[in-house]
Structure 1
Amino acid sequence: MTARGVTAESRGPGEVMTWSRELVEPASRAAVDTLPDSMRQIAGYHYGWWDERGTPTASCGGKALRPTLTLLAAEAVGGVASAAVPAAVAIELVHNFSLLHDDVIDGDVTRRHRPTAWTVFGRHAAILAGDSLLALAFEVLAASGHPDSRDGMRILSSAVQSLVEGQSRDVSFEERRDIELAECLAMARGKTGALISAACAIGALFGGGRAKQVDHLRAFGEELGLAFQLVDDLLGIWGDPAVTGKPVYSDLYNRKKSVPVVVALASRTVAGRQLHELYHADRPLSGREVKRAAELVELAGGRRWCQEQADDRLARAIHRLRSADPPTGAAAELAALASLIIHRDR
């Protein structure tokens, strides 16, 4: 198989995502099939492959963004996507481990427009299924036979530690009234940026990239990951429920200390002070109050700041991508996918 980015014209993001799923899903299913039956049932339900009784469904298993980045990163260093399929599977396993745990921690009852795994199988079972997926991710890398699999496992292990630390910070914010913006951004880099960065770095590694190329792709993913979280925070307030699968103003109902909220609270504006009073009221917020909170976040500059920062981080990411000297087709596909991620319905 030749490197797609060298021999063919670039594809659009939709075509790239379909191509990625066709490569990664069979390998993901084969990996999950090796799990003990109890864990396999929950994992397959969470992925969207079957219902709670094990009956196959047509549910979408998610966008598969991270494995797509992994495959494209392999091509961006002149390699072939097929060599990075085990890495893409491992990255997606870790991502789904985090989602299973996040849903339990946050008490979310829906994901991808269906009941979350913990609401169907119980909290303990969902946590254990997440643990099982995490262990399986490293098993997949170890069994890949790739000469750089050990380095890949080190990169992934570091990303998991950062992800867990980011999630821990996020949980701790719920108990605190005043959060510094620097703390909030550090949380976002760990919770979201670390795994996206690892996806690109391991993809480049499995694609045979030179050390400098791997580092540039790692930095590309780090910048893209932070931009992704900034946009995700915007969607958590103003996103279309038909797209996000969550109610409008969802993060505000939960009084989440997301980046636009923290920016607004720290703005020292009249709107920021009013938001502080509203956000820290000792009672649930009404629908009218939540709508007002969204207005105050915008008036205090939280929405605009996140939009501008997301665009800036995207520009930095593209600069690091170009510095990796990728083939033209692969560069165009990665850049187009990154742009789509950052400008999605925000």
Structure 2
Amino acid sequence: MTDLDVSPAHRSAREVLSWSRAGVDPALRAAVDRLPESMRGIAGYHFGWWDEHGRPAGADAGKAIRPALALLGARAVGGSVEQALPAAVAVELVHNFSLLHDDVMDGDTTRRHRPTAWSVFGVNPAVLAGDSLLTLSLDVLAGSGNPGAQQGIRVLSTAVQQLLDGQSADLAFEERGDVRLAECVRMAECKTGSLLGAACALGALFGGGRPDQVEHLRSFGERMGLAFQFVDDLLGIWGDPEVTGKPVFSDLQNRKKSLPVVAALTSDTAAARELDELYHADRQLTGADLARAADLIEVSGARAWSQGRADDLLARARVHLRAAEPVESAARELDAVARLATRRDR
């Protein structure tokens, strides 16, 4: 038994995430240390371990939700978290591969309260570093020695393909004026729900879970992930920059077709028509424009609708969690992480 397997009773969600980060980081660092030096430097900067010159920095490395889901998924089916450590590392590598690429494609210059990797090292090096993390994630699973490794590679590869499909749709939406709400929801299912579902499934698989447990935990993670995206999109408009690490109204500034935006644009209201004019104005949006756009989304009812959908999805995720017949302590912590991930003030 390792320190990872020692689980105090009644931990809060934040305590669980701190436990996950502390437990996964040594293995994550060891994996990243195997990268070529050119990739290792950018990856370490992105993870917050050092500055652009390679000096220790200790910056924010993210919430570690996905690795926590993998570790708890193993515990939920009666396995040890040590068994699931390669799965946890792999999903964190994939998540950060996607962030490196997303920042380039979205033109974001800030992540986790510091300049994005591409804005420091350049676009091409950041893209290559993301590719390197993706390749490393599969290598970690292949070299784990776990009996479920081969199936795990298929699970993760499928999730990555869905993630890429979702990102492709997200980018295409920026050029279209006729995005339907159903296809926007489908985009979010692929872009966010797929990897959170894979994290839970991989943990259960590496922990020796039954096929039905693996599938129910995957469904739990997918629905939690979509709820997470609804809340994340709300934070992209109304979130506190001190919490989100991004400027206020950042998604509106980029004219992203996020879930609340598309819900507002398709609401057939006067607010929808005014928002459409703002979103398709052939000029840079001012601070007043962005504040007005946020007001229009709220007036249209899209903010309340998004919050309601997140709550409904969380309830449906819990149904699948119970159906997996999980170990009680792990189920309690999975539920706590899901509730934290879908809070408006996270």
C-alpha contact (below 8 Å) 1:67/1:89 kept by paired residues: yes
**Equivalent residue, structure 2, for 1:182:** 182
**Equivalent residue, structure 2, for 1:305:** 305
1:63-98 superposed Cα distances (whole Å, 9 cap, x missing partner): 111001110111111111111000000000001110
- Cα displacement (A) at 1:248: 1.3
SS in 1 for 2:58: coil
C-alpha contact (below 8 Å) 1:5/1:328 kept by paired residues: no
> What is the TM-score when the length of structure 1 is the normalising length?
0.97
For 2:15 and 2:64, locate their aligned partners in 1 and report how far apart those are by CA, in whole Å. 13
For 2:164 and 2:170, locate their aligned partners in 1 and report how far apart those are by CA, in whole Å. 10
Q: 2:62 corresponds to which letter in structure 1? A: G
Q: 1:235 corresponds to which letter in structure 2? A: L
Q: 1:300 corresponds to which letter in structure 2? A: S
For 2:158 and 2:2, locate their aligned partners in 1 and report how far apart those are by CA, in whole Å. 31
**Equivalent residue, structure 1, for 2:96:** 96
**Equivalent residue, structure 1, for 2:58:** 58
Spell out structure 1 runs of 4+ moving beyond 3 A: 2-8
**Equivalent residue, structure 1, for 2:345:** 345
> What is the TM-score when the length of structure 2 is the normalising length?
0.97
Moved more, 270-279 or 157-166: 270-279
**Equivalent residue, structure 1, for 2:294:** 294
C-alpha contact (below 8 Å) 1:109/1:116 kept by paired residues: yes
Moved more, 117-126 or 150-159: 117-126
For 1:29 and 1:58, locate their aligned partners in 2 and report how far apart those are by CA, in whole Å. 13
For 1:123 and 1:109, locate their aligned partners in 2 and report how far apart those are by CA, in whole Å. 11
Q: 2:106 corresponds to which letter in structure 1? A: D
**Relative to structure 1, is the Cα distance of residues 156 and 33 closer, same or farther in structure 2, using a 3 angstrom cutoff?**
same
For 1:4 and 1:330, locate their aligned partners in 2 and report how far apart those are by CA, in whole Å. 13
For 1:249 and 1:40, locate their aligned partners in 2 and report how far apart those are by CA, in whole Å. 33
Q: 2:135 corresponds to which letter in structure 1? A: A
- Cα displacement (A) at 1:136: 0.4
C-alpha contact (below 8 Å) 1:6/1:78 kept by paired residues: no
Q: 1:141 corresponds to which letter in structure 2? A: L
- Cα displacement (A) at 1:10: 2.9
1:45 aligned onto 2:45:
yes
**Equivalent residue, structure 2, for 1:268:** 268
For 1:36 and 1:319, locate their aligned partners in 2 and report how far apart those are by CA, in whole Å. 44
**Equivalent residue, structure 1, for 2:208:** 208
1:298-319 superposed Cα distances (whole Å, 9 cap, x missing partner): 0101100100000000000011
**Equivalent residue, structure 1, for 2:330:** 330
For 1:114 and 1:75, locate their aligned partners in 2 and report how far apart those are by CA, in whole Å. 35
1:116-137 superposed Cα distances (whole Å, 9 cap, x missing partner): 1111111110100110111000
- Cα displacement (A) at 1:3: 12
For 1:6 and 1:39, locate their aligned partners in 2 and report how far apart those are by CA, in whole Å. 34
SS in 2 for 1:235: helix
Provide the aligned length of Structure 1 versus Structure 2. Answer: 346
Q: Please give the residue correspondences for 1:133-172 in structure 2 after superposition, counting only pairs within 5 Å.
A: 133-172=133-172
**Equivalent residue, structure 1, for 2:128:** 128
C-alpha contact (below 8 Å) 1:10/1:330 kept by paired residues: no
Q: 2:141 corresponds to which letter in structure 1? A: L
1:27 aligned onto 2:37:
no
Q: 1:243 corresponds to which letter in structure 2? A: V
Q: Which blocks of at least 5 consecutive residues in structure 2 are unaligned?
A: none
For 1:3 and 1:337, locate their aligned partners in 2 and report how far apart those are by CA, in whole Å. 20
Q: Which blocks of at least 5 consecutive residues in structure 1 are unaligned?
A: none
